[in-house]
């Protein structure tokens, strides 16, 4: 069976086995290394991508589930107006320390602001809670989301 994915606006024919988790297709087959593998158990948020505009984890779900859907990875996030604002706000607020969780957080923040342009603090915290940052940069991440929402 041949799968076709649209990733960051480009159609790809996928050669990996259909039960391969999406992240391995992104990183190993398509060489899109911005999406990070953390726990591999859908518990840390490092592997987040957007599927049809909504945040989704890519580490455990087979690629065949995403057949025909629009996938946006961190490599394509700045192609959207909101994604560009979020990236710039993360930079301005130095909202990354080691950076391992950052791509997942930027993707999640972009999905949040796409759905809720002016989230209150509780809404932002709830949306970003599944994304773990062991460096403790969450206060700066929250400021970055607020800045991105305001610009």
- Which positions lie near ligand FES, rule CB under 6 A? 37-40, 42-47, 57, 59
> In the complex with ligand FES, which residue's Cβ is closer, 45 or 76?
45
Distance of closest approach, residue 120 Cβ to ligand FES, in angstroms: 25
> In the complex with ligand FES, which residue's Cβ is closer, 130 or 143?
130
Distance of closest approach, residue 58 Cβ to ligand FES, in angstroms: 7
Distance of closest approach, residue 47 Cβ to ligand FES, in angstroms: 3
Nearest to 86 by CA among 97, 77, 96, 99: 77
> In the complex with ligand FES, which residue's Cβ is closer, 61 or 123?
61
> In the complex with ligand FES, which residue's Cβ is closer, 89 or 105?
105
Distance of closest approach, residue 36 Cβ to ligand FES, in angstroms: 7
Distance of closest approach, residue 21 Cβ to ligand FES, in angstroms: 9
Determine the residue with CB nearest ligand FES. 59
Distance CA 54, CA 62 (A): 17
Tell me the two tokens of residue 125.
Answer: 């915290």
Asked whether 94 and 144 are in contact (CB, 8 A), the reply is no
> In the complex with ligand FES, which residue's Cβ is closer, 131 or 140?
131
Asked whether 100 and 132 are in contact (CB, 8 A), the reply is no
């Amino acid at each position: 069976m041949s799968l076709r994915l649209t990733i960051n606006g480009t159609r790809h024919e996928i050669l990996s086995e259909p039960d391969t988790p999406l992240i391995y297709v992104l990183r190993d087959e398509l060489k899109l290394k911005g999406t990070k593998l953390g726990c591999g158990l859908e518990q840390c948020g490092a592997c987040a991508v957007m599927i049809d505009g909504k945040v989704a984890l890519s580490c455990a779900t087979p690629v065949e589930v995403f057949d025909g859907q629009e996938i946006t990875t961190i490599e394509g996030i700045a192609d959207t107006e909101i994604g560009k604002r979020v990236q710039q706000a993360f930079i301005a607020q130095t909202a990354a320390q080691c950076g391992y969780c950052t791509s997942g957080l930027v993707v999640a923040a972009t999905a949040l602001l796409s759905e809720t342009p002016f989230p209150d603090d509780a809404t932002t915290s709830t949306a970003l809670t599944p994304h773990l940052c062991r460096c403790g940069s969450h206060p700066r991440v929250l400021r970055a989301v607020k800045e991105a929402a305001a610009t």
